[in-house]
């Protein structure tokens, strides 16, 4: 393990060293000395504070900085000078009121892998147009029609876990569940052959997404690039078939294919492919992570679990013992379960921060944010600030019972024009899965899973190993011969 860590540090050092001349050139155009930069440390020459960030829990890294320097501070990580913001007012300034001064920024390697036309790489007119299309395909009147199909996916997954008698990696299985729901929302009922091809290649892209970007044959990144090209080919076949049949569907693909603005402009096939891959990426890990955390929090608080069961059992019985499907109104009438969802989003803070880049020199509260510097609103720091949430490290769904959080203090799906457009679908599929889980199944976490791992989203250690079984039966025990 130590060898792997040392290798990671060496790779990070070399990557920053290679980028340093470019950074030096970029800095010369910014008269930084004329202005007051935020407090903070830029770390070592060339590599900044990247090693400190990667050698500890990143949330502790940011929290320690905030305690020392305040709610706005500077650093130098991953080859970039950065300004971190940990106040609701600052986050609103960057993401809402002055969003035009800051552009979304991602490593070019990730843009290349997903596709440069994905909406979260853009701002302005193109972003607005694509975002409206995605939002309309994930609006309540559309996703309401998916409830029965999502239920089928959830029950099938639970039956598989419960019938295996095996310890499963909860996070990994939740990724498969959320992927299936994502496919449903994008394509409707997709041919099984296409679905299997998409899933096979998507997994390869997913595995290489956070790997070191090198085109050396056989590396995870190079495999991911090749798989991304195959994904585009498969999507091209699906689009061709949809056009040939003249189908007019209400799913995301249908919205993208049928769009035409007042000037007659349409969405190109490359743009469609990039945005479909982008939506899958945006939806899968985040939703899977929060569901995994909900299972852990409920497992750790049996009294709360029983209360959630009571709420869901009442709905189950009103549906003729589960024989009738859930309705949209019922998913909106799960107050305790919904508060558990909200508190899990706050506690876990799946999206701990986001990246922006200043497109001009920006002054904020007497400090300069130079053009070209990265800006990082720290959502988790705000979610765990006792000024906004009392006893913030305690899991307490009742905090959402009566008083709504102060504005810009609870942002599990981001904020502003780049906030997650699929948050309603994510909440819906989570509530549906929890309903069927607690009314028909039980689960038991295997081992002591108290830590957190990042990949890059926070999940319980080892993906929360657990056993599932039907409530009417007993857990299958491992028996030694």
Within 10 Å of residue 222's Cβ, how many Cβ atoms?
Answer: 16
Q: What SS3 class is residue 366?
A: coil
- Residue 75: phi, psi to the nearest 5? -160, -175
Whole-angstrom distance, CA of residue 218 vs CA of residue 220? 7
Which residues touch 274 (CB under 8 Å, ≥6 apart)?
A: 114, 115, 116, 117, 118
Whole-angstrom distance, CA of residue 81 vs CA of residue 390? 33
Whole-angstrom distance, CA of residue 420 vs CA of residue 344? 17
Q: What SS3 class is residue 377?
A: strand
What are the binding residues for heme? Answer: 420
Q: Are 202 and 180 in contact (CB under 8 A)?
A: no
- CA-closest candidate to residue 83, choices 419, 434, 365: 365
Q: Name the token pair of 340.
A: 């558990």
- CA-closest candidate to residue 142, choices 253, 286, 273: 253
385: left (phi over 0), alpha (psi -120 to 50) or beta: beta
Q: Name the token pair of 140.
A: 């309540």
Per this entry, what is the length of the chain? 481
What are the binding residues? Answer: 420
- Helix 170-187 vs helix 423-440: crossing angle, to nearest 10: 130
């Amino acid at each position: 393990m130590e060898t792997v860590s040392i290798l990671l540090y060496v790779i990070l050092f070399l990557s920053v060293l290679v980028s340093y001349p470019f950074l030096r050139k970029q800095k010369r155009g910014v008269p930084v000395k004329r202005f007051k930069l935020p407090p903070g440390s830029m770390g070592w020459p060339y590599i900044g504070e990247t090693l400190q960030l990667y050698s500890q829990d990143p949330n502790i890294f940011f929290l320690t900085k905030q305690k020392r320097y305040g709610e706005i501070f500077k650093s130098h990580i991953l080859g970039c000078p950065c300004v971190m913001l940990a106040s609701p007012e600052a986050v609103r300034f960057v993401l809402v009121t002055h969003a035009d001064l800051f552009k979304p920024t991602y490593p070019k390697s990730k843009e290349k892998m997903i596709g440069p036309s994905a909406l979260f790489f853009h701002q302005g007119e193109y972003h607005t147009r694509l975002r409206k299309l995605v939002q309309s395909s994930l609006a309540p009147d559309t996703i309401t029609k998916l409830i029965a199909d999502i239920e089928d996916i959830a029950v099938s997954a639970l039956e598989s876990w419960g019938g295996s008698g095996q310890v499963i990696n909860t996070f990994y299985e939740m990724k498969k569940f959320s992927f299936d729901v994502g496919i449903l929302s994008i394509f409707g009922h997709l041919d099984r052959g296409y679905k299997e091809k998409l899933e096979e290649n998507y997994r390869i892209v997913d595995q290489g997404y956070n790997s070191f970007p090198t085109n050396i044959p056989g590396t995870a990144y190079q495999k991911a690039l090749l798989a991304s090209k195959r994904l585009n080919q498969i999507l091209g076949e699906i689009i061709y078939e949809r056009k040939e049949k003249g189908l007019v569907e209400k799913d995301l693909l249908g919205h993208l294919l049928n769009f035409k603005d007042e000037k007659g402009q349409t969405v190109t096939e490359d743009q469609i492919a990039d945005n479909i891959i982008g939506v899958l990426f945006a939806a899968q890990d985040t939703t899977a992570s929060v569901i995994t955390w909900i299972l852990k929090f409920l497992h750790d608080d049996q009294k709360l679990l029983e209360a959630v069961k009571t709420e869901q059992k009442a709905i189950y019985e009103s549906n003729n013992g589960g024989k009738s499907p859930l309705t949209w109104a019922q998913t909106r009438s799960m107050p305790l379960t919904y508060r558990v969802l909200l508190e899990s989003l706050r506690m876990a803070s799946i999206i701990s921060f986001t990246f922006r880049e200043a497109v001009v020199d920006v002054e904020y509260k007497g400090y300069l944010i130079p053009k070209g510097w990265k800006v990082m609103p720290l959502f988790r720091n705000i979610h765990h600030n006792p000024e906004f949430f009392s006893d913030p490290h305690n899991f307490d769904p009742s905090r959402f019972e009566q008083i709504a959080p102060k504005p810009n203090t609870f942002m599990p799906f981001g904020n502003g024009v780049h906030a997650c457009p699929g948050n309603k679908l994510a909440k819906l599929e989570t509530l549906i899965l929890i309903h069927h889980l607690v009314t028909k199944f039980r689960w038991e976490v295997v081992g002591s899973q108290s830590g957190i791992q990042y990949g890059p989203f926070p999940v319980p250690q080892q993906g929360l190993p657990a056993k599932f079984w039907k409530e009417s039966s007993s857990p299958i025990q491992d028996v030694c011969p």
